[in-house]
Amino acid sequence: MFRTQIRAKGDRGFRPAWTAALAGRLTQRVLDPKPIAVCRIDGVKRAVKVLFIALIALGIVPQAWQVPVHAQTTFTLTIGGAGRGSGKVTSSDDAINCTISAGVVSGDCTENYQSEIIIQLTATPDPGSSFIRWSGDCSGTSPSIWVDIRRNMTCTATFGPPRVLFEEDFSEGIPSTWQVVDGGYGGGAASTWTTANPGNRNFGPPFVEPFAIVDSDAAGPGAVQDEQLITPWISVEPCPGNPRRVFISFSDYMQVLELEKADVDISVNGTSWVRKHGWGPGGYPIRPRTTILNLTNDLAGATSFKVRFHYYNASYDWYWAIDNVRVFCEDPSLGIEEYRLYLPLVLRMQ
């Protein structure tokens, strides 16, 4: 506890005392004890403040010494652009309406705001482009963000060119452009790849029915499976850069009983295949997952390729399921190494 004393000399027969109040007033009282006003405060800062108020009230410190009240500060919010795509950034108060094309901005891209104002910015890509991320004084990959204006700020929106080369979620079954090769025998409706889910499997996220599955268990005793699910030709020519940075992502889940295997292969000529990923008795996922594979080196010099999901060595074993197949390329002008940004939001969370 800190005590501040203010002494005043009284006239004969009187002992005046001054009590300092936080409101800046002083009340004069007639007291018999010593002319002492005691201000109980919790810290040095508050004691100094009370003393300063008392001195102003006594006229010892002129009013001009008091801290003036300033007008509210104004700051500038500026929108910048980056990337090879195009789009628009707007604000929730409609003051910002900024067009971005290949990193060049035009339109209403600068606005003044009073401090501590909160504004929502929304980035909307043009058809054929994608919003990638915010940078500068803003961050994140969500198209809509809230900005707390406390200083001059620049928020840069990055738009990329079309990057998704191919995607399939089997929502309408296995497309006719895909090839199903039944290399086994027996099993009836469960003999090969299908979206009918003959074993009534329920995997949960990231799988959403229908999905593609080859189910050896549902095929039953006596069935043998050597089953291929092959994509159509996928062109990589829209990808910028040399070499083109190409990736594939897919959700899969496999249960292994004995000797069955599951491979993900690619081919640039349609006849010879290169194994890029796979499961077998020595290792398989313990839960549904999404995998991303870098195909850049394998596709050097190629203009298109195919992907094969190959399940084999199976006879009344378990199953392998596939969903959310997606092929995309990275824009080297963005310098982004976090490839999960290219996945749909539901898959980024896996």
pLDDT tens digit string along 137-160?
999 888 999 999 999 999 999 987
Question: Distance between CA 149 and CA 170 in Å, rounded?
Answer: 45
Residues contacting 202, CB < 8 A, separation 6+: 209
Give the domain ranges of the chain.
2-65, 74-160, 164-348
At 262-280, the pLDDT tens digits run 999 999 999 999 999 999 8
Higher pLDDT, 43 or 247: 247
Distances (CA, A) of 143 to 87, 106, 133, 139, 207: 11, 19, 8, 10, 25
Q: How confident is the model at residue 312 (pLDDT cuts 50, 70, 90)?
A: very high
Cβ–Cβ < 8 Å for 110, 149:
no
**Per-residue model confidence (pLDDT) at position 142:** 85
R_g (Cα) of the chain, nearest Å: 36
**Common-topology check for domains 74-160 and 164-348:** no
Position 70 pLDDT exceeds 60:
no
Question: Distance between CA 147 and CA 160 in Å, rounded?
Answer: 23
* Strand runs labelled E in 183-318: 212-215, 225-230, 234-235, 246-255, 261-267, 274-279, 289-294, 304-314
Position 346 pLDDT exceeds 50:
no
Position 183 pLDDT exceeds 90:
yes
The pLDDT mean for the chain works out to 80
Distances (CA, A) of 174 to 99, 189, 230: 40, 14, 10
At 190-230, the pLDDT tens digits run 999 999 999 999 999 999 999 999 999 999 999 999 999 99
Architecture of 164-348 per CATH? Answer: Sandwich (2.60)
Bridge-partner residues for 185, per DSSP?
A: 224
Angle at 138 between CA 135 and CA 140, to 5 degrees: 75
Position 314 pLDDT exceeds 80:
yes
Question: Distance between CA 189 and CA 198 in Å, rounded?
Answer: 7
Question: Distance between CA 349 and CA 294 in Å, rounded?
Answer: 20
**Per-residue model confidence (pLDDT) at position 164:** 82
What CATH number belongs to 74-160? 2.60.40
Residues contacting 117, CB < 8 A, separation 6+: 149
Cβ–Cβ < 8 Å for 52, 4:
no
Minimal CA–CA distance to 322: which of 345, 350, 288? 288
